[in-house]
């Protein structure tokens, strides 16, 4: 990756989100989020810096695809914590001004995807308790559920480092955030196209980006 994505006018993402989320309850607009996380030295003793990031895709009524990036970092963290941060940050952005969406959220973290599809429902039913003991990262799971609650979400798992263009891009954003300890402070204009051209020239990404999800294939997971 060459440099960071260009800055976005601070109101541009809000304007797009507000315009795209004007549909009725029966036809919430579609959004795709491709997220990843990084923890440099995950599992080692001491403070291990981490990052979480993603690329948000919208396809408007004209068919035009727009992309925005986001990323956050922590000085001492774990991969699992940053996977949850990737959700919290994405849905905080999407929920600005009360907007609601159908969201296909793709991550290579089985911890995250299985947790949001399955585990949290049992935890909530038991008053945020596990049968086997305390819930790891309880505060982040609760924040993630609160952030996701207004939306309809299809949670998708993808194998990491397998040539999935958007996932590889999110990984690069997350690694950079971990190393530099930076945050995007919301949505910024995406550098995906430039990044993809560089990766193709280097032979690191050969396939096409994953297409924007079709409305008829969207399957929302159980809500909260």
Tens-place pLDDT, residues 172-221: 999 999 999 999 999 999 999 999 999 999 998 888 999 999 989 999 99
Say yes or no to pLDDT of 16 above 80. no
Domain ranges of the chain: 12-206
- Quickly list DSSP for 139-186: HHHHHHHHHHTTSEEEEEE--TTSS-HHHHHHHHHHHHHHHHT---SS
Say yes or no to pLDDT of 19 above 60. no
Say yes or no to pLDDT of 223 above 50. yes
pTM above 0.85, yes or no: yes
Percent of the chain with pLDDT over 70: 88
Tell me how many degrees the CA angle 87-130-45 measures, rounded to the nearest 5: 65
How confident is the model at residue 74, as a pLDDT?
A: 98
Distance from C-alpha of 101 to C-alpha of 211, rounded to nearest angstrom: 18
Q: Which CATH homologous superfamily contains domain 12-206? A: Ribonuclease H-like superfamily/Ribonuclease H (3.30.420.10)
Residue of 40, 160, 152, 48 whose CA lies nearest to 101:
152
In a 3-state reduction of DSSP, which class is residue 73? strand
Q: What's the whole-number mean pLDDT along residues 33-46?
A: 91
Distance from C-alpha of 143 to C-alpha of 137, rounded to nearest angstrom: 10
Helices 192-201 and 165-180 meet at what angle, rounded to 10? 100
Strands (E), the chain: 30-39, 50-59, 65-74, 102-107, 152-157, 188-189
In a 3-state reduction of DSSP, which class is residue 17? helix
Say yes or no to pLDDT of 9 above 90. no
Say yes or no to pLDDT of 22 above 50. no
Mean per-residue pLDDT of the chain: 90
């Amino acid at each position: 990756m060459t440099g960071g994505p260009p800055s976005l006018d601070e109101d541009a993402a809000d304007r797009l989100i507000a315009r795209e989320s004007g549909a009725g309850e029966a036809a919430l607009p579609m959004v795709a989020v491709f997220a990843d996380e990084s923890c440099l030295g995950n599992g080692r003793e001491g403070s291990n810096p981490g990052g979480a990031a993603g690329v948000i895709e919208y396809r408007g009524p004209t068919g035009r695809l727009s992309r925005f990036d986001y990323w956050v970092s922590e000085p001492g963290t774990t991969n699992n914590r940053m996977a949850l941060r990737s959700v919290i940050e994405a849905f905080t952005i999407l929920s600005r001004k009360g907007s609601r969406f159908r969201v296909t959220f793709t991550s290579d973290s089985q911890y995250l995807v299985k947790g949001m599809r399955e585990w949290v429902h049992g935890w909530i039913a038991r008053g945020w308790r596990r049968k086997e003991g305390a819930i790891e990262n309880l505060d982040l799971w609760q924040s993630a559920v609160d952030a996701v609650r207004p939306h309809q979400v299809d949670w998708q798992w993808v194998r990491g480092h397998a040539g999935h263009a958007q996932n590889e891009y999110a990984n690069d954003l997350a690694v950079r955030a971990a190393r530099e300890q930076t945050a995007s402070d919301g949505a910024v204009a995406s550098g995906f196209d430039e990044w993809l051209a560089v990766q193709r020239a280097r032979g690191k990404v050969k396939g096409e980006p994953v297409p924007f999800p079709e409305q008829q294939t969207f399957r929302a997971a159980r809500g909260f």
